[in-house]
Amino acid sequence: MKQGLVLAFLVLSCLSLVPLQGKVYRGSIDFIELTEPPLRYSDINAVWEMLKEEVGAPGDFPPPPLVLDWEVPHKARMGFQYPTVNYPQYPLMVSIAPRTIDTWHHELVTYGVGHELLHYLFLLRDNGFDLEKRTFDEASPHHCNREFMRISRLIADRIWDMYHSTEHRSVMYDEVTKSCFNQPGQ
């Protein structure tokens, strides 16, 4: 069992998992036990604090939920989603494909989460950091935005400061360029 921790989660929809306290099977299966994913939360929080400062978010501004999501498209590793006028049912969250955690090195997972958190902060900055809104104005494209690209490289540098892996830092820098080239409209 990974790290000796097992959490029970109630599957509320295909997109969200909610921890349960002391849930017990009672004649039917209505929850699934999951091992806590091996995310390095201290690393993600360090990146989060840096991002808030770089983007100018309030110091106590909360991050979005991070959700294991089996519905992330096969070619994607994770993604940021939010409710819009056209899609008000979308939750505000970062979806992480479980296969990403299984196949990516922890430094690259942290970078990917940081990238999605940066999308979140740019969107919320464009919407006055107003989390009370039911829907958000469509985001202007971020991937080729010079500020977004600069801060994305800072994420790679922050992770390099923690682990000193030049190889992984190079992969993260490449992701900045590939995101602009392959998905300029995002």
Domain ranges across the chain: 1-36, 39-182
* Total Cβ atoms within 10 A of residue 153: 16
Contact of 101 with 89, CB cutoff 8 Å: no
Tell me the β-bridge partners of 93: 81
Average pLDDT over residues 15-30: 55
* Strands 66-68 and 93-96, bridge-based pairing: parallel
Both tokens assigned to 26: 């009672």
Which of 25-29, 45-49, 83-87, 100-104 is the most confident on average? 45-49
> Cα-flanking dihedrals φ and ψ of residue 43, to 5°?
-65, -45
- The pLDDT assigned to 18 comes to 41
Dihedral sign, CA of 151, 54, 111, 90?
A: negative
Model pLDDT for residues 118-148, shown as the tens digit of each residue: 999 999 999 999 999 999 987 789 999 999 9
Residue 128 tokens, joined: 């006055």
Pairing of strands 93-96, 78-81: antiparallel
Report the predicted TM-score, pTM, of the whole model to 2 decimal places: 0.81
Distance CA 120, CA 125 (A): 8
Decide if pLDDT at 11 tops 80.
Answer: no
